[in-house]
Amino acid sequence: MSDNDITTEVVIIGAGPAGLFQVFELGLLGIKSHVVDTLKQAGGQCTELYPDKPIYDIPALPICGAQELVDRLLQQIKPFAAGLHLGEEAVQLNRQDNGRFRVVTAAGTVFDAGAVVIAGGVGSFQPRRLALEGVELFEGKQIHYKIKNVADFHGRNLVIFGGGDSALDWALALAPKASSLALVHRRAEFRGAPATVAQLRELQAAGKLRFIEGLAHSVHSRDAALTGVQVKDASGELHRLDAEHLLVFFGLAPKLGPIAEWGLNLDKRAIRVDTEKFESNIPGVFAIGDINTYPGKKKLILSGFHEAALAAFAIQHHLYPAKKQFLQYTTTSPAMQKRLGVATA
């Protein structure tokens, strides 16, 4: 162990909603943690892929933007002063002879931790790209795989590719704001929620958006600027669509990356855990959120929060097996209120 190593009770790999809430649940129990994430900002998929997308199934928040949720979680964990190591990929995880863990990031940061929580979402991921010649010239400028500022697309000619929730949600959100909007999907059926599809059909019937069952064929440009896209429909006919921006939502190409080499029991790129502790096959290594799997698993933010709560108690027992555990409530526990900084005299 080097003098520069960071000694901590827990390292959390992943700064998405589940990872951030894990900081909170551990903090309530008086357990300190550090968080590592490959992305340069906290929030995981919420911040990276759909920061403006509304979420409707967070308890007590009838509607909450994805970025708003992340901001609220960051505010909630402030009392616990967790170390955030963003833009650093965890590349090594080794259990030491004393039962503690050595976690190393690509940036050279080394942690000595009593337990590790993997909350890495779907792992390292990249959006699936539009596979057309010349697209790299416009990516990040006029071809987008995520939306950071929705106002940038108001009054513009837009073409959206995709048939899942992201594509449909953005089509509904942007159709009233765009100068023109076309949605292109390879099939007539969509993978989105039935209510969303029904709304889409209504907009299509009203002439507010155009739908083409087909595939992208080629892009058009003039003076180094994207001007449109050619789409081949199901019958083989080509359609030229004027476009100032292409919004591509083909989903993610998930890769576990280094996690796959850590000796964890995996099932289709997900970490198997029990539903009592959310512990992996390696004692002291836990997994919560979209990266874990167990019978009945549902990939919901709500589920990740529940998993973080139970994992926190399991981690406390792992770190301090001789310590008696008591279920305390933030409304009545002086110790928890003190940790939260809300204790009254």
Determine how many CB atoms are found less than 10 A away from the CB of residue 331: 7
Short-list 31, 64, 118, CA closest to 307: 118
Q: Which residue has the tokens 């889409």?
A: 200
223-248 residue pLDDT tens: 999 999 999 999 999 999 999 999 99
- Beta 225-233 vs 210-222: how paired, if at all? antiparallel
pLDDT score at 148: 81
What angle, 0 to 180 degrees and rounded to 10, lies between the N-to-C axes of helices 17-28 and 301-319?
A: 40
Distance CA 278, CA 272 (A): 9
Distance CA 15, CA 310 (A): 18
Report yes or no: 90 and 105 within 8 Å, Cβ to Cβ.
Answer: yes
Write down all domains in the chain, each with its CATH number in brackets. 6-125+253-340 (3.50.50.60), 130-250 (3.50.50.60)
Determine how many CB atoms are found less than 10 A away from the CB of residue 91: 17
Instruction: Tell me what the mean pLDDT of segment 293-310 comes to.
Output: 96
133-157 residue pLDDT tens: 999 999 989 999 988 889 999 999 9
251-278 residue pLDDT tens: 777 677 789 899 999 998 899 999 999 9
Report yes or no: 66 and 50 within 8 Å, Cβ to Cβ.
Answer: yes
Short-list 79, 40, 46, CA closest to 64: 46
Report yes or no: 49 and 249 within 8 Å, Cβ to Cβ.
Answer: no
What is the SS3 assignment for 232? strand
Q: Is the pTM of this model over 0.75?
A: no
Report yes or no: 52 and 170 within 8 Å, Cβ to Cβ.
Answer: no
For residue 344, pLDDT beyond 80: no
